[in-house]
Amino acid sequence: MSEKAPEDSKPQVDAKPEPGDQINIKVRDAEGNEVQFKIKKTTQLKKLMDAYCLRMGTAKGAYRFLFDGHRINEEDTPESLDMQELDCVDAMVSQLGG
């Protein structure tokens, strides 16, 4: 992936985040393409999920995100899910059937 991953668009704050306060998370689609995001450990993952949808040119909510086989909720944070540096989140498209 040659392009730089979009940064978390949080407002700038005066105090620099403590080292170890941020974490790199990879989002991977079904074909194995990866996009990396750097976010604060306490940032709601909704931001990451919305940013991914934006980057993929889809409406927000178009993908479902899984971590270790569990669906990620909007309020979850890297901290609450005990994510480690460069952990990978899987993005799945929505499914329909009749």
* φ, ψ at 40 (rounded to 5°): -70, 150
Q: How far is the CB of 36 from another protein (least distance, A)?
A: 18
**Interaction site with another protein (CB under 8 A):** 29-31, 53-54, 56-62, 64, 66, 68-71, 73, 90, 92-98
The DSSP result for 38-73, as a single string, is EEETTS-HHHHHHHHHHHTT--TTSEEEEETTEEPP
The residue among 21 and 54 lying less far from another protein, judged by its C-beta, is 54
C-alpha 96: how far from chain center: 24
Side chain identity at residue 23, one-letter code: I
Nearer to another protein, 8 or 29 (CB): 29
CB of 89 to another protein, least distance (A): 11
To another protein, the closest distance from the beta carbon of 59 in angstroms equals 4
